[in-house]
Amino acid sequence: MSGENEKPSLVYGEIKDNPNVLDLEKITIMKSAVDSEDVRMEHKIRLNQNGDDTNQTIKLYKRRWFIVLLFSSYSLCNSFQWIQYGIINNIFMRFYGVESFTIDWMSMIYMLTYIPFIFPVTWLLDKKGLRVIALVATAMNCAGTWIKVTSVRPNLFAVTMLGQFCCSLAQVFILGMPSKIASVWFGSEEVSTACSIGVFGNQLGIAIGFLVPPILVPNVEDMDQLAYHISIMFYITAGVATLLFLLVVMVFQERPELPPTQAQATARCISPEQYSYTASILRLLRNKPFLLLILTYGLNVGCFYAVGTLLNRMIIEHYPGEELNAGRIGLTIIIAGMVGSLICGIWLDRTKTYKQTTLTVYIMSFVGMLVYAFTLSLGHLWVVFLTAGALGFFMTGYLPLGFEFGVELTYPECEGTSSGLLNCSAQVFGIMFTICQGKIIDNYGTLAGNIFLCVFLFIGSVLTGFIKSDLQRQKANQLAKAAVPSDPEDGNMSAPAVLDETRF
């Protein structure tokens, strides 16, 4: 028994004290040491913390699923509000007496707010952890919904914009969380699936945002009746946001008592003094494959944001009076994308083919956008439903792929930092594409606007092919496997393991 404890300690000691190993390499190897996929039994590792050796048990808790589902729920509530104005653009134009472009900004404010605030929020995530970020996110989202409740009068557009700004600020505390929650709470065989579930909530919220507002707010002529319908939608949103805020206050946990992987166990032993947020950002900006991913991710997701924001205008132009079907088409895009996200997450956990899968999905997004562009004006709504669903399956399904590929390329940097940079790129391109496509649609029609997006999806597909598949996390896992000592009793290599905890 003593042999089992001594050999792992020796491995960590050799890595820690070896002057020929760079600090970043030490963190990479130690974070991943024995973080393998051959798991399902309890074992202990010896970690050095403040000079003292302590035994750590690696466990998976069932409550991890509750944590990720709670996160998905408040992400859903927030993303619903991103599109709730845009999908009934013509109705809000009439109610508040503003132009179509002004209502477009109710969606674009989500993108604009993200850009300046992502870096301080990512720093806060590194320093304060998941619970503080979750509390701020749900508090801001709750405040924004109640401000909107007070804005249901035609002369109070500025108040409803303030409420939307609060919700957009909450989004900054949400978008970078899926990969962080997956790493902190889930085993190495589950991280891609868990990340997909986290993204799933955001997508489902957008889907509901496409579907519900046209149902709750019909295009009626009487302004008092219209105000009543809008207030019902705002009150429902505020009630849900308040409930989710209370749930986060009561039950959202910072991290499990025991780590889910040895990578996380070792990460807990790294003191804050050893980590520099600025140095981490600089390392990421010198990572050429990741820089290419930032560009290609922004192009793809920026196109998705533009399509979602302008969908009502595109559908109404060819199918007047079909506000309800515009929402249903948006719902089809997102539901298909949710299926794509889950399939891609499970596929990545099984195959680890990050670049191949990302490139394939990207090319299919380009093909889907091309088909959608040329079939939108045929006059058959069922064709639009089919082509929009195919587009959504690949374009929306790309979201978790980008997150997980980014984590692979940047390991052992903080997952929140890498995903934050990816999202920042998406917001920048989202604003640019939404404004440009909107102007093109106004002057040249929807076909020209959609071809505009096709050009950038083609460019993104080509650039994705040039991303070097330098999978740092997978390399680190292989190094860790090679570092695992032989079992003294049977002579076999000890497989790193976690205990799937049966209690909640």
Residue 272, pLDDT score:
58
Residue type, 71: F
Averaged pLDDT for residues 462-481: 73
> If phi over 0 gives left and psi between -120 and 50 gives alpha, with beta otherwise, what is residue 244?
alpha
pLDDT at 93: 92
Q: Is 305 helix (H, G, I), strand (E, B) or coil?
A: helix
- pLDDT number for residue 140: 95
The enclosing H or E element of 451 equals helix 446-465
Residue 71, token pair as written in the block: 């996160």
What pLDDT is attached to residue 321?
79
What does the block give as tokens for 213?
């507002």
> Is pLDDT at 47 greater than 60 in this prediction?
no
What average pLDDT score do residues 271-288 get?
A: 74
Strand partners, 52: 49
**For the residues 236-251, what does the mean pLDDT come to?**
94
Between helix 63-83 and helix 157-172 the angle, nearest 10°, is: 150
Residue 457 has pLDDT above 70, yes or no: yes
| 138 vs 38: which has the higher pLDDT | 138
Bridge partners of residue 330, in order along the sequence: none
Phi-psi group of 182: left, alpha or beta (phi > 0 → left; psi -120 to 50 → alpha; rest → beta): alpha
Whole-number Cα distances in Å, 442 to 88, 313, 378, 437, 464: 18, 10, 19, 9, 31
Stretch 324-343: mean pLDDT, rounded? 85
Q: Tell me what the mean pLDDT of segment 103-108 comes to.
A: 88
Q: Which of 422, 346, 411 is nearest to 177 (CA)?
A: 422
- Enter the tokens of residue 306: 């533009």
| pLDDT reported for residue 40 | 35
**498 or 390: which leads in pLDDT:** 390
Contact 385, 329 (CB under 8 A): yes
Range of weakest confidence among 66-70, 110-114, 187-191, 252-256: 187-191
Give the angle 121-126-127 at the CA atoms, nearest 5°: 95
Tokens 């009543």 label which residue?
228
Residue written as token pair 């997701």: 301
- The residue whose two tokens read 């104005």 is 85
Mean pLDDT rounded to a whole number for the chain: 79
- Residue 18 CB partners (closer than 8 Å, separation 6+): 26
Q: Is 381 exposed, middle or buried (0-12, 13-18, 19+ CB in 10 A)?
A: middle
Query: How large a percentage of the chain has pLDDT more than 70?
Result: 78
Residues forming a β-bridge with 500: 60
Residue 32 has pLDDT above 90, yes or no: no
For the residues 446-466, what does the mean pLDDT come to?
93
Other CB atoms within 10 A of residue 374 CB: 14
Residue keyed to tokens 């460019």: 459
Percentage of residues in the chain having pLDDT higher than 90: 32
Among the ranges given (101-105, 187-191, 227-231, 235-239), the one the predictor scored with the smallest mean pLDDT: 187-191
For residues 354 and 35, give the distance between their C-alpha atoms in angstroms, rounded to a whole number: 18
* pLDDT band at residue 481 under the 50/70/90 scheme: low
| Letter string b/e over residues 79-89, b meaning 16 or more CB atoms within 10 A of that residue's CB | bbbbbbbbbbb
For 96-110, 186-200, 376-390, which range has the lowest pLDDT when averaged over its residues?
186-200
Can you tell me the mean pLDDT for 30-59?
Answer: 44
* DSSP string covering 188-233: TTTHHHHHHHHHHHHHHHHHHHHHHHHHHS---S-HHHHHHHHHHH
Q: Give the residue from 78, 135, 136 showing the smallest Cα distance to 110.
A: 78
Q: How many CB atoms lie within 10 A of CB 133?
A: 23
Top-confidence residue, 142 or 350? 142
What does the block give as tokens for 311?
């969908």
CB 226 within 8 A of CB 151: no
> Burial, 490: exposed, middle or buried (Cβ in 10 Å; 0-12, 13-18, 19+)?
exposed
H or E stretch including 44? strand 44-49
Give CA–CA dist 148/146, Å, rounded: 5
- φ, ψ at 476 (rounded to 5°): -65, -40
Confidence of residue 266 (pLDDT cuts 50, 70, 90): low
Report the pLDDT value the prediction gives residue 204, as an integer from 0 to 100. 86
Q: How many CA atoms lie within 13 A of 284 on its CB side?
A: 24
Residue 181: per-residue pLDDT: 84
> Model confidence at 79, in pLDDT bands (50, 70, 90)?
very high
